[in-house]
Amino acid sequence: MARYNPKEVEPKWRAAWAEADAFRAKAEPGKPKYYVLEMFPYPSGRLHMGHVRNYSLGDVIARYKRARGFAVLHPMGWDAFGLPAENAAMERGVDPKAWTYDNIARMRSELKELGLAIDWSREFATCDVDYYGRQQSWFLDLFKAGLVYRKESVVNWDPVDQTVLANEQVVDGRGWRSGAPVEKRKLNQWFLRITAYADELVDSLKTLDRWPDKVRIMQENWIGRSQGLKFSFDFAGQTPAGFERGLEVYTTRPDTLFGASFVGIAPDHPLAEQLAAADPNVAAFVAECRRGGVSEAEIETAEKIGWHTGFKVKHPFDPNWELPVYIANFILMDYGTGAIFACPAHDQRDLDFARKYGLPVRPVVLPPGADPATFEIGEEAYTGPGTIFNSSFLDGKDVEAAKAEAIARIEAEGRGQGTTIYRLRDWGVARQRGWGCPIPVVHCAKCGVVALPKSVLPVALPDDLEFGKPGNALARHPTWKHTTCPTCGGPAERETDTLDTFVDSSWYFARFTDTEAEEPISKAAADYWLPVDQYIGGIEHAVLHLLYARFVTKALADQGLLSVREPFAGLFTQGMVTHETYRKQNGEWVEPREVEIVAEGKTRRARLVETGEPVVIGDVEKMSKSKRNTVAPEEIFEVYGVDAARLFVLSDSPPERDAQWSTGGVEGAWRFVNRVWAEFDSQPSELPAAGTPPGDKAEALRVLTHRTVKAVTEAVESFRFNSGIARLYEFLNGLKDFPAAGASPDVLAARQEALAAFARLIAPFTPHLAEECWSQIGGEGLVAEAPWPDFDPALSQDAVKVLPVQVNGKRRGEIRAPAGAEPAEVEKMVLDDPEIARRLEGLTIRKVIVVKDRIVNIVAA
């Protein structure tokens, strides 16, 4: 008997797939198409377990859909621009371009080793000039359409990475990559007008029914649409300079206008700045407001503080009612108008503030069932539904009706307007970095900012950028930026900012549909393949990449480059790969490979392989370099083969949850691979002639086979790969009851059927093993090109059912009945059964419940 040797078997089949060009995507009209895509990797240099999991998941889908007769597109590329290359350049003096392409070469070979059913002919990297040049082309289209603009604004500046960050890239006030506290800087910046699509980005989330709710909710929160009212207060008495037209505020609660107590402005509101310039005390207060931290915890606990400006405004519905104007630290300049009217009774923040400064608290929304005479607000604002009272013409209305009425009244008086506002900001896309896609515009002293004509594209990066020191290598290049203005022919300077790498990844899926096309996107190919039917990646991109890609798709559709308005019809967010952590007594982290686990009874202890020094087993955490709890895929491939690694990572947990890597687990998968092979190896090549009628035993095996096909098919369809694999384990265990040695001809034939199904069922998970097994039993061609097995519904269930019999809900016996037996018939069988009868002695039968093919319950007393 030959031992299974993945080191020989696996490369052999990869070569066979390449030889057959098995995974080339071909648009075939009349055949249903399926586009499966995993988020493409950043070429950091090494494949990690997260990649193994991500791409194995996608590969299961790709192989399964192919077996199901779909024309499948499953491509691979590289998200190749970005800072790590520049950092490597600075640290090690290498060229970012060479570094990146070297990494790509290494990772490509590692990915190929995984045996993925990928059409490698479509591979590209975003740093290929063929790619980013075409990105510049559609960037110019958006420019022309007014979706790109430049403005001076306060931006997030990452002092470590020395670049601007988009709002989405600032997490808890820190740069998402560097972790450095972000500074505010006023810069000329390039923006993409994502807010023009805010409504559609929210509204069409509803159509993405194959996206996780979680991601849709996160995007909805991020866009943060709210309907409300913008209106102006007139000043009473003294009017500050520049505010002759009043003080504009935004509110979502115009129904509570009669509960107004004061008006608040943000510390960096123009009025506050004006006052601060004139009065050092105000300036000191504003400075104090700014000192507050930016983290959630700090904001949470920050006390509300205010400064009474001395100004007063008139209530819009009662000119004799005057409200004081405060500068308050809890008001944000970059939301709404940076000014609010406060209704303490129905807003907690306003209430905290009002209590502190002794301002009136007047309830105007009466909760259902409350008595208007006695209803009072304590330390908790009432924000629920109710009936408006104490509110003149709004009295008696519910909250929604009162909102509409208040807005109508304000609009009629010309004081303001019902408005929808968003938390979403336009996307700042310029980065002051050299290793990125150049923005195709020039600055001309005479003509200003001039977009280049498409005829001069691509604007390629120079090959001799100098990355040895911090800052923008493109800006300091001696000659690159000097050019001529396409409008006037005079001297001009190229824009030296490059595009955010999220721009690169916002359309790559469309380019994959035809990587040869002259134009950025081949309309015909995109129309055939898009949208991506199944997109797979990490949850960390829920509001970054996934939002940008949706926006760019819509914008490109409006420029006529695409037909779809949503790029990803189905989204799956997979969990992370985790591992136990280990530390020495001195607290130093230790890698799993340096540790051996010893079981002492039921407790596990760890020690260093080298010295035997005891090691503390810590928490299970995401594999990371800092905790040193990583396991290198190539070392696993070397020992157990690729299939065992794939199998384990797919079988360990549901794909959306974290998977915990363990040596024991991968060893279990490896043993499974060997047992599968042994089972196939034991099948004789001489088989009985077809048509041998199956006896009971053969029939039982056929039932097992067909049930397994059904269960695995359903599991794969619903992304429960781990369940599917669990069924395959059970299938293999079940096969042991039907050994080839000494089997009768009919059983041997049933075994052949079982194995033929088995090879095809494991093909998406362990493709190399599947080929070897398929070939062993004389399967035709490659299993990668074989159709998915069908199941016979009649065989996927038993002919004879074992029905448990309960008496008063407790199991008291069982009977065997033909499948589909009628309740009356079953009842008779049960009551005739001597064992059951014994159980019922002395009891009166009240009721007999027969659930067809399931169970019988006798209620007796």
Q: Which of residues 14-43 bind RNA (CB under 7 A)?
A: none
Q: Is 818 in the site for RNA (CB under 7 A)?
A: no
State yes or no: residue 602 binds RNA (CB under 7 A).
yes
Q: Which of 411, 667, 699, 833 binds RNA (CB under 7 A)?
A: 667
Which residue's CB is nearer to RNA, number 195 or number 226? 226
At position 636, the amino acid (one-letter code) is: I
Match 């990649």 to its residue by tokens. Answer: 51
Q: Output 144 or 184, the one with its CB closest to RNA.
A: 184
Whether omega before 531 lies within 30 degrees of 0, making that bond cis, reads: yes
Under a CB-based contact definition with an 8 Å cutoff, are residues 597 and 236 in contact? no
Window 178 to 217, contacts with RNA (CB under 7 A): 213-214, 217
Binding residues among 537-556 for RNA as defined by CB under 7 A:
539, 543
* Sign, Cα dihedral of 266, 270, 275, 277: positive
User: In angstroms, how far apart are the furthest CA atoms of the chain?
Assistant: 110
> Per rule CB under 7 A, is residue 59 in the interface with RNA?
no
User: And the tokens for 707?
Assistant: 């049930």
49-67 helix and 696-717 helix, angle to the nearest 10 degrees: 120
Torsion of CA 677, 679, 683, 688, to 10 degrees: -130
Looking at residues 692 to 731 of the shown chain, list those that interact with RNA (rule: CB under 7 A). Answer: 720, 722-723, 726, 729-730
Token pair belonging to 657: 């949850």
> Which helix (DSSP H) or strand (DSSP E) does residue 199 occupy?
helix 198-203
Tokens of 456: 């001069």
Torsional sign, CA 590, 591, 596, 599: positive
Closest separation in Å from C-beta 309 to RNA: 16
Should residue 170 be labelled a site residue for RNA when binding is judged by CB under 7 A? no
Those residues whose C-beta lies under 8 Å from the C-beta of residue 719, and which sit 6 or more positions away, are 572, 654, 655, 656
| H helix and E strand count, the chain | 26, 37
Q: Which of 618, 767, 570, 779 is nearest to 687 (CA)?
A: 779
Q: Is 329 in the site for RNA (CB under 7 A)?
A: yes
Closer to RNA by Cβ: residue 209 or 464: 209
Q: How far is the CB of 855 from RNA (least distance, A)?
A: 4
In whole angstroms, the minimum distance from the beta carbon of 171 to RNA comes to 7
CA–CA dist 114, 52 (Å, integer): 8
Out of 668, 745, 779, 813, name the contact with RNA by CB under 7 A: 668
752-811: contacts with RNA (CB under 7 A): 801-802, 804, 806, 808-809, 811
Is-contact 189 155, C-beta < 8 A? yes
The answer to whether 248 contacts RNA (rule: CB under 7 A) is no
Q: Which of 245, 291, 469, 854 binds RNA (CB under 7 A)?
A: 854
User: Residue 852 Cβ, how far from RNA at the closest point, in Å?
Assistant: 10
- Using CB under 7 A, which of 44, 153, 252, 483 touches RNA? 252
Position 340 contacts RNA (CB under 7 A)? yes
Work out whether 253 is an interface residue with RNA (CB under 7 A): yes
162 binds RNA (CB under 7 A): no
User: Which residue in 10, 16, 15 sits closest to 782, CA to CA?
Assistant: 16
Alpha carbon distance 392, 364 (integer Å): 10
Residue 300 in the binding site for RNA (CB under 7 A): yes
End-to-end C-alpha distance for the chain, whole angstroms = 63
For RNA, the closer of residues 161 and 347 by Cβ is 347
Local structure of residue 5 (DSSP, 8 states): -
Contact between 439 and RNA (CB under 7 A)?
A: no
Burial class (CB in 10 A: 0-12, 13-18, 19+), 303: exposed
Q: Per-residue string for binding with RNA, 669-698, x by CB under 7 A?
A: x-xx-xx--x--------------------
The H or E element containing residue 508 is helix 508-511
If one asks whether residue 228 binds RNA (CB under 7 A), the answer comes out as yes
Q: Nearer Cβ to RNA, position 328 or 642?
A: 328
Answer for which of 625, 736, 741, 844 binds RNA (CB under 7 A) is 736
HEC profile for 606-654? EEECCCCCEEEEEEEEECCCCCCCCCCHHHHHHHHCHHHHHHHHHHCCC
Q: According to CB under 7 A, which one of 18, 277, 278, 299 is a site residue for RNA?
A: 299
Min CB(736)–RNA separation in Å: 5
Q: How many residues bind RNA (CB under 7 A)?
A: 85
Q: Does 601 bind RNA (CB under 7 A)?
A: yes
Do 772 and 677 touch, CB atoms closer than 8 A?
Answer: yes
Closest to RNA by CB, 146 vs 601, is 601
Least gap, CB of 746 to RNA (angstroms): 23
**Is 861 a binder of RNA (CB under 7 A)?**
no
- Between 269 and 768, CB nearer to RNA: 269
**Span from 61-69, 79-87, 336-344, 372-380 in contact with RNA (CB under 7 A):** 336-344
Question: C-alpha angle with apex 171: 166 to 174, nearest 5 degrees?
Answer: 90
Choose the stretch contacting RNA; rule: CB under 7 A; options: 12-20, 655-663, 693-701, 750-758: 655-663
Site stretch for RNA (CB under 7 A), options 81-89, 628-636, 747-755, 852-860: 852-860
Question: 247: which residues sit within 8 A by CB, 6+ positions away?
Answer: 232, 233, 235, 263, 265, 271, 313, 325, 339
Q: Which is nearer to RNA, 369 or 601 (CB)?
A: 601
Q: How far is the CB of 251 from RNA (least distance, A)?
A: 3
Residue of 620, 639, 687, 831 that binds RNA (CB under 7 A): 620
- Of the residues 243, 250, 467, 568, which one makes contact with RNA according to CB under 7 A: 250
